[in-house]
Amino acid sequence: MVAICMAVFFTTVALLAWLIFFPVARTRIGGWCARNHHAVVAGLSRIATRAASQANGSSAMVLHAGGALGQRLYRQRYLLLGTLLLTGLPSWLILHFRQQVALDGFDPPEVAAASTQIIELMRGERLVPPPPLPPEVFVVAQATRAQLGAQAVIPEKIASADRRWNLIDPDLQQRVLAIYRIMREQHGYEMALVEGYRSPERQAELAREGKATRAGPGQSCHQYGLAVDSAPLRDGKLQWDMADPWTRRGYALYGQLAQQAGLRWGGTWKKLKDYVHVETEHACRNARRAAGRL
């Protein structure tokens, strides 16, 4: 009996997961129910009538069987609880820690195509960084920070940030440049590097202020050349205002492409979201471990 209950439980969980994660399944089931509405209602009515006619003669049997089943379930309560945790905990963790659930083989077509193009770009020609922007672009952007308020995603003190591509890890550099090209050619967004390598001294200064980062010296991926900050460029100005639909869409595309390129995007963080930030998470963890900063 316990085995039957567990089989029913697993089947129910699988069906619910199928309906939750696959919109096509929901559409097909809904369409079938709509087409066969009268047949479904009639069938349910017959089942209900038959069950009602048998209820009087079967009540004692049901109560006895229910009591026996309850006793068996109580004896196996720890096994059932463990099964529930094993099946439910992974799904809860995925939904809790990720903004968007992505299942292998079921990516949106445009995102999957972009992912394939990123791989092709990295395997093909070596991408060359764009020429640096005039320093005035970053001075103006820093000056507009106070005007934009809470909707701004401007990093702190970007006028003095390091934007030398040669100090960025070569693998990360190529991934980011591939993202830049797709953003420009497929979506019409010109992206600009805001900050790459960050010295321990600058990291300590930003951490003390606590607005842009809480990581101390040696704890940020920027110190190892394994993180970059980027922003969309429009009419010669860096765009930060998340209240603007064009800017908001640009950062969303940037984040999607970064994740498809195997990078971690700061826009998915639960606290202190950093929409401009991408990093190579595993390489950074190894670098921090080697430096004794974990």
Per-residue model confidence (pLDDT) at position 237: 94
Please tell me whether residues 118 and 183 are part of one structural domain: yes
Measure the CA–CA gap between 244 and 229, rounded to whole angstroms. 19
The tens place of each residue's pLDDT in the chain, 294 residues long, gives 556 656 666 677 677 666 665 655 556 666 566 566 566 566 666 766 775 666 555 555 545 656 677 777 777 778 778 777 777 776 666 555 544 444 344 344 444 555 677 877 777 778 999 999 999 999 998 888 767 765 566 677 899 999 999 999 999 999 999 999 999 999 999 999 999 999 999 999 888 876 667 788 888 999 999 999 999 999 999 998 888 999 999 999 999 999 999 999 999 998 778 999 999 999 999 999 999 987
| pTM for the structure as a whole | 0.61
Range of the domain at 190: 109-290
Per-residue model confidence (pLDDT) at position 4: 66
Please tell me whether residues 198 and 286 are part of one structural domain: yes
Contacts of residue 171, defined as CB under 8 A and 6 or more positions apart, other chains included, come to: 280, 283
Say what angle helices 77-97 and 37-75 make with each other, to 10 degrees.
120
The enclosing domain of 225 has a CATH number of 3.30.1380.10
First to last CA, the chain: 49
Among 97, 131, 147, identify where a domain stops: 97
Please tell me whether residues 175 and 46 are part of one structural domain: no
Per-residue model confidence (pLDDT) at position 100: 42
Please tell me whether residues 225 and 267 are part of one structural domain: yes
